[in-house]
Structure 1
Amino acid sequence: MSTAKGRKPAAGEGNPLLLQSVARTMSVLEAFAGQPRPLSIAELAAAAGLDKSAGQRIAHTLQALGYLERSSVGLVPGKKALYRAFDFLRMNALVESATPVLHELRKSVNERVDLSLLDGTDIVYAVRLQSKRETFSATLVGRRLPSFCSTGGRAMLAALPEAEALGILEASDRRPLTPRTTTDIPAILGKIEEARRCGYALAIEESALGEIVLAAAVLDIHQRPVAAIHVAGSLSEWAEDGFRQRISPLVMEAARALSHTYKRG
């Protein structure tokens, strides 16, 4: 099958077991990650590195199956995409075990509580229990953040061997999310080492202005990080020292409890 001239290779290209037609189909769906708005067929094809004909056929197929829908101004992800997210969440034993722990923590802190999973160089939020004031994106599961500037990411990196954590940092796109995002690798390593010593990571306005966040890693039976529990507060209500003193023991205890639960599973 022909592809657009100059198309960048798909992930896994060269693997004899990888179906390029499936990879190209997924690249069309993934185009919305970089452009969160309705897209035309031409825009979808360009974002996926396909010629217009291939993009049109794939988009038509996805629309027929319900994974794309047409809005008044272009194509958007369809409701079928939500079904697959539901399947992931209901079949994930860690998410199931975490939910009551997170609800109890939310009652104690009266702030937003999240569960994130490590995915390559990023974290992805799997559970989000919002507080009284939130931006829209902060309430949504499936949101991704770079691990290097997120407290959950740093907490999980602190539980990895140093060489492995460094490899993840070096492979990361370390563009700042706010003016206060730390992007220098030695400085990030210093924050990871602080998380290793304290048992939790803390960040102030590194992924969202006005926000202070603290997180601790959840470990599996091999002491490998599988998730992180976050609590996020507003700097209009919390000073750093007070937030550390109040939130850190509760988050670390919740992470330990979930680690034990996960090991028994």
Structure 2
Amino acid sequence: MRPNVRTTPGKELKFEAEEGDALFVRSAARAMQVLAAFHGVNKALSLSEIAKLSGLDRSATQRIVHTLAKLDYVRRSSDDRGYLPGLRLLDHTLDVLRLDPLVQKATPVLLELRRSLRERIDLSLFDDTRMIYAFRIQSKRETFYATLVGHSVPAFATAGGRAALSLMTDDEVREVLGRSELIEYTAATRTDPEEILEQVRIARTNGYAVIVDEYLRGEVAIGVGISRDGRPIGAIHVAGSLSEWSQDEFERQAAPVAMEAARDIMASL
């Protein structure tokens, strides 16, 4: 079983130009390569560690890190033993969120949903094999990762992910699952592709997906997919504790209001 950390995208990032792509700026790609080195770590990184994780040589890494530090996109750690992502990156996070039409339209709807159902409410954006949280309203029981915008979770094992997948055809779902890392997050996590596909079909029929104990122990979650032009673009997640809810009662209370919220959002897009 794995800890709940950032989910790796199903499509690997390529930092090299494709053949014949004369517009590709290699130096820009190298800068992104350096920033991507921080994705899987939990501490400040030395220049040597950044070079190793990014796949660049130390000389190139040093020049790029120096440039990014001058622009405040990389900063020294408080103990001066390594580097961390810089605060200026948060400016770009804000731009992503404030300019995204789904986040704009969903925010007032989700605030109203939170008033009617006082549990955790999340909006996630569909990104191939994973869901990236873009808006989060917390309940009284939370973990560190459950509070972070930008945290990503696997589509195959989460309510919002299966709800988003339910807006696709079976063949498309199989293709996504074929590129997903189907690992156990808890003892209850389904990892067999056909079992997952069956749960996606149930979500397609019901209009929502339900997950119990599969991604977080002790949690029941409802997910409702959001589409535009017939394609999934995100999902609403509503999550509660099994110490306070039975699965049946949570479905009765949360699913209708979550589906209504999703319809309101899609009507406004």
Q: Do they fold alike, i.e. is TM over 0.5?
A: yes
Question: Using a 3 Å threshold, how does the CA distance of structure 1 residues 241 and 9 change in structure 2: closer, same or farther?
Answer: closer
- Residue 194 of structure 2 is matched in structure 1 by 186
> Is 1:239 matched with 2:224?
no
> Is 1:10 matched with 2:14?
yes
- Secondary structure at the counterpart of residue 18 of structure 2: coil
- Secondary structure at the counterpart of residue 166 of structure 1: helix
Q: How many angstroms apart in 2 are the aligned matches of 1:161 and 1:57?
A: 47
Letter matched to residue 104 of structure 1: E
Tell me if structure 2 keeps the 8 A contact 1:10–1:24: no
- Secondary structure at the counterpart of residue 159 of structure 1: coil
Deviations 1:211-231 (A, max 9, x none): 1111101121x2221110010
- Secondary structure at the counterpart of residue 32 of structure 1: coil
Sequence identity of aligned pairs in percent?
45
Tell me if structure 1 keeps the 8 A contact 2:15–2:33: no
**Structure 1 outlier segments of 4+, above 6 Å:** none
Q: How many angstroms apart in 1 are the aligned matches of 2:159 and 2:257?
A: 15
TM alignment of 1:136-215, pairs within 5 A: 136-215=144-223
Q: Tell me the TM-score normalised to structure 2 length.
A: 0.90
Tell me if structure 2 keeps the 8 A contact 1:155–1:195: yes
* 1:51 positional shift: 1.2
- Residue 261 of structure 2 is matched in structure 1 by 254
Q: Tell me the TM-score normalised to structure 1 length.
A: 0.92
- Secondary structure at the counterpart of residue 101 of structure 1: helix
> Is 1:105 matched with 2:109?
no
For 2:65, which of 27, 42, 59 is the aligned residue? 59
> Is 1:128 matched with 2:136?
yes
Q: How many angstroms apart in 1 are the aligned matches of 2:50 and 2:205?
A: 46
Question: Once structures 1 and 2 are overlaid, which stretch shifts more, 123-132 or 50-59?
Answer: 50-59
* 1:9 positional shift: 8.4
Deviations 1:214-264 (A, max 9, x none): 1101121x22211100101111111111111111101111111111111xx
- Secondary structure at the counterpart of residue 103 of structure 1: helix
Question: Using a 3 Å threshold, how does the CA distance of structure 1 residues 12 and 215 change in structure 2: closer, same or farther?
Answer: farther
For 2:49, which of 32, 43, 46 is the aligned residue? 43
Q: How many angstroms apart in 2 are the aligned matches of 1:12 and 1:185?
A: 32
Question: Once structures 1 and 2 are overlaid, which stretch shifts more, 72-81 or 94-103?
Answer: 72-81
Q: How many angstroms apart in 2 are the aligned matches of 1:190 and 1:27?
A: 38
Letter matched to residue 132 of structure 1: K
Unaligned runs of 5+ in 2: 1-11
- Secondary structure at the counterpart of residue 37 of structure 1: coil
Unaligned runs of 5+ in 1: 1-7
Q: How many residues align?
A: 254
Letter matched to residue 147 of structure 1: A
- Secondary structure at the counterpart of residue 148 of structure 1: helix
Higher relative contact order (CA 8 A, sep 6+): 2
Q: How many angstroms apart in 2 are the aligned matches of 1:23 and 1:205?
A: 39
Question: Using a 3 Å threshold, how does the CA distance of structure 1 residues 129 and 47 change in structure 2: closer, same or farther?
Answer: same
* 1:148 positional shift: 0.9
> What is the aligned-residue RMSD (CA, Å)?
1.5
